[in-house]
Structure 1
Amino acid sequence: MTERVLYLMICGAGPADQVEVAISLAQDRGWSVYCVATPAAVEHFLDLAKVEHLTGHPVRTGYQRQGQAALPRADAVVVAPATYNTINKWAAGTADTYVLTQLAELTGLGVPIAVLPFVNTALAANPVLHRSIDALRASGVRVLFGEDGFRPHPPRTGGSVLADYPWHLALDAVE
């Protein structure tokens, strides 16, 4: 049986602190998980050693160095938790981090991508976010936002909704 490779792109938002839930769910579905993290996720949320232990792979935090093994070809990508910043930069074509560069390439390659945002109601009310979501959807990206996806929470209440973050929806979307 061929290994199914899932890139889990992790942004710096509250659910990143519980990324082991996504890893476990993905592995239970037969995915080999490779985590790629934004600088904010690394700095504020992730225990890299723990994530590497759970996946069996190093967390990629930057561009491939000489002598460093390349990531295997992705069969699917989950971007979760996806921040306001990452969604808007990606949709605008900005590739100023490793994660954004990879997302730009993977979108262009047509790899199945599901995005599970984590934003509050104030950010969700911004028309810029809606334009970005529309642009990503027009590019073939599944953005799980709204009634059948992530539902924004009031500002400063993100910690109270972490246990209900719907990781499974992103995995369902790339199956």
Structure 2
Amino acid sequence: MSRTSRVLYLIVCASPRARRIGELVGRAQARGWTVCVIPTPQALKFIDRPTLEEQTGFPVRSEYKQWDITNPLPPPDAMLACPATCNTGNKWVYGLADTLALALLTEAIGLGLPLVVAPALNSAQAVYPAFDRSVTALREMGVTVLYGPGVYGPGPPGSGGRPYDWELPLEALQEKVVRPERRK
């Protein structure tokens, strides 16, 4: 693929919503993004890797590469973490980059890339005290977190497969790209 469009790194976490991530990829591509999918190791259980590789034209990377091997992915212009689990959000805030996905998210803040996160968690996870602190900390770092009344609310445990509006994170990303001064 040529480097004529903007490159979006789509970070995918282990959530039932990840099973339909190809829909988000297609919608992002329709908006002019070149999409590269980077799942967490556990998210590999939820996605169709060969189909995503065919859809994007790039390998789906979930592991670090050796330093002397060229990165097969073009550099990102923006990142979107969707779905993002409670686990990933809490680790990310503390810089615990034990997966490629977390390392890239941590680095994106330092690079000043437009960054949107769309959490996927249940109501039991949402009341864990560290989660609210993590949402606040990510927002203070300039990350757009799509969580809260009127945006996204967690469902009861076991409801992870409920419908999700894929346009929501793409609209938020567009807002960050068009108005980069709007950091939160």
Whether these two folds match at TM > 0.5 is yes
Matching residue of 1:28 = 30
| 1:141 corresponds to 2:143 | yes
CA contact (8 A) 1:116 1:167 kept: no
The Cα of 1:125 is off from its aligned counterpart by: 1.4
CA distance in 1 between counterparts of 2:115 and 2:140 reads: 12
Give TM-score scaled by structure 1 length. Answer: 0.93
CA contact (8 A) 2:10 2:82 kept: yes
Q: Which aligned pairs between 1:18-97 and structure 2 lie closer than 5 A?
A: 18-42=20-44, 44-65=45-66, 66-97=68-99
The RMSD of aligned alpha carbons is 1.4
CA distance in 2 between counterparts of 1:31 and 1:148 reads: 27
Residues 75-124 of structure 1 deviation map (CA, whole Å, 9 limit, x = unaligned): 11110100010000001221111111111101111101100011001111
Matching residue of 1:171 = 170
Letter in 2 for 1:51: L
Give the count of matched residue pairs: 171
Q: Which aligned pairs between 1:99-138 and structure 2 lie closer than 5 A?
A: 99-138=101-140
Letter in 2 for 1:47: D
CA gap 1:58/1:16 in 2 versus in 1, 3 angstroms: same
CA contact (8 A) 2:115 2:144 kept: yes
**Structure 2 gaps, min length 5:** 175-184
Q: After superposing the two structures, state which structure 1 stretch, 23-32 or 67-76, moved more.
A: 67-76
CA distance in 1 between counterparts of 2:71 and 2:93 reads: 29
Residues 28-61 of structure 1 deviation map (CA, whole Å, 9 limit, x = unaligned): 100000000100001x201110110111111011
Query: Equivalent residue of 1:158, what SS?
Result: coil
CA distance in 2 between counterparts of 1:139 and 1:80 reads: 18
CA distance in 2 between counterparts of 1:30 and 1:51 reads: 17
| 1:15 corresponds to 2:17 | yes
Query: Equivalent residue of 2:54, what SS?
Result: helix
- Which structure is higher in helix share? 1
**Structure 1 gaps, min length 5:** none
